[in-house]
A = this chain, B = another copy of it.
Amino acid sequence: MIPRYTRAKMADLWTPEARFRIWFEIEAHAADAMVGLGIVPADAAKAIWERGAFDVERIDEIEREVKHDVIAFLTSVAEHVGPEARFMHQGMTSSDVLDTCLAVQLARAADILIEDVDALLVVLKRRALEHKYTVCIGRSHGIHAEPVTFGLKMAQAYAEFTRGRERLVAARKEIATCAISGAVGTFANVDPSVEEYVAAKMGLAIEPVSTQVIPRDRHAAFFAALAVVASSIERLAVEVRHLQRTEVLEAEEAFTKGQKGSSAMPHKRNPVLSENLTGLARLVRSAAVPAFENVALWHERDISHSSVERGIGPDATVHLDFALARLTSMMDGLVIYPENMQRNLDRLGGVVHSQRVLLALTQKGVSREDSYRIVQENAMKVWRGEGAFLDFLKADPKVTSALSDAELESLFNLDYHTKHVDTIFKRVFGEA
């Protein structure tokens, strides 16, 4: 994880301390469950909770010798707990601890990401309502099409991140399972009730069938969900980058006091946040392919997934958390220039109304093909800078034979384009 794209809350999930703490809880809860089964003396289970502690440096030291992290951890805990420690990990295998821990970490990471999206949704909704009727040109292919409103852009983003939230909720559900099933998942040495007990205590579902490990299709689906959310971040970031282009300048990232845009060009105000988000989206997405490749482990398990997850686990969650927070604050502070939106809207001399004219002509009985040709000819004159669209239409007998001046003028009214904005808002935000 890259320090500058890291926030403490998410990063804290991934520290050695946090990981070992979860390991300890899993082991201690398991010991509790085994008391009921007569495997662990009640005193020992109590001692584990009471004297249970570990030392990160000591664990590292032991691991360098035994080359096995869970054994190193258990040895360190045993040094604090004393002889009762031998009752820990009874019939369990390392993966029972490691995989359940990863499930806890990813589920908690998902919780933070869902909170992040919630915060983003609040901002997007506010900006949507604020600019519900701030008209600007809609663009397809980067070319002026017909008017939309800035609020609609925000509503679209809101709807998209609502879907992203649902995907994160589903991903969290997929990943939040507990496996304490022993060496090859048969519960030969550990009763299924231990798994049930620990799962409940850790806020997880049980893994119906594990094979030493929790199956990695769950993790693949998890990281794929993150990749889709990251792609939605990229989409909104690219929108802002476009709007801030010098020639467009309909919106601008807030420029903080003291900030310098360019070491060489003092006049520059660059959309560096949204560009940064574009890059972060690529980074987060890059976790998906190795997560897919992790699924086909050999037989009951191989450990090839482990190094991958040591990377993508923290990286993808930390960077996505940062990106969502940055996007939220960027959208919150985004400076909107309605006057520039109007200026851009007027730029094409009215040809953005060409479809309405086309439709009006066909309604009057002109064939679709003829209407298209008539409108296109007049639009092209405007395109070449020869004048205004309405003027050309009024002067074209092929048009005026079907439409009066008054009818033509009415076709150039912007309200026409915003009449269903409220309908869309109700679909997206529900009834106010």
Contacts and interface: CB of A to CB of B under 8 A. Distances in A.
A310 B312 CA distance: 15
Interface stretch (A48-56, A101-109, A182-190, A402-410): A182-190
A306 interface: yes
A247 B248 contact: yes
Interface in A249-286: 256, 258-272, 275-276, 278-283, 285-286
Given A141-B303, A306-B279, A159 B268 contact: no
Contacts of A286: 286-287, 289-290, 312
Contact of A140 (B290, B301, B354): B301
A74 B292 contact: no
A189 B421 contact: no
Given A245-B247, A270-B141, A304 B279 contact: yes
A312 to B, nearest CB: 8
A91 B218 CA distance: 44
A246 B143 contact: yes
A139 interface: yes
Contacts of A2: 307, 310-311
Interface string A210-228: 1110011110110011011
* Number of chain copies forming the complex: 4
B275 A302 contact: yes
Given A152-B209, A156-B209, A276 B304 contact: yes
Interface in A31-59: 39
Contact of A267 (B265, B285, B351): B351
A66 interface: yes
Contact of A74 (B227, B258, B263): B263
A295 B232 contact: yes
Contacts of A17: none
A183 B264 contact: yes
| Interface of A (DSSP majority class) | helix
Contacts of A206: 427
Interface string A64-103: 0111101100110010000101110111111000000000
Contacts of A315: 311
B183 A140 contact: yes
Contact of A138 (B137, B184, B231, B270): B184
Nearest to A213: B140
Given A186-B148, A228-B220, A242-B299, A375 B266 contact: yes
Contacts of A145: 183-184, 212, 262, 265, 268, 300
Interface string A310-322: 1110010001000
B231 A292 contact: yes
Contact of A266 (B211, B288, B355): B355
A138 B298 contact: no
A238 B372 CA distance: 29
Contacts of A278: 296, 302, 304
Contacts of A217: 160, 163-164, 228, 231-232, 235
A62 to B, nearest CB: 10
A230 B319 CA distance: 24
A358 B89 CA distance: 12
A246 B144 contact: yes
A419 B186 CA distance: 8
Given A141-B270, A141-B301, A188-B420, 20 more contacts: A75-B369, A89-B263, A89-B368, A91-B264, A93-B265, A139-B245, A141-B271, A143-B261, A146-B183, A163-B217, A217-B231, A220-B228, A228-B295, A266-B379, A267-B375, A275-B306, A279-B303, A279-B304, A283-B308, A288-B292
22 contacts: A66-B258, A74-B368, A86-B368, A94-B263, A138-B211, A138-B299, A139-B245, A141-B241, A141-B271, A141-B303, A142-B246, A147-B184, A155-B209, A182-B264, A183-B265, A186-B421, A188-B356, A238-B298, A266-B375, A270-B303, A279-B290, A279-B303
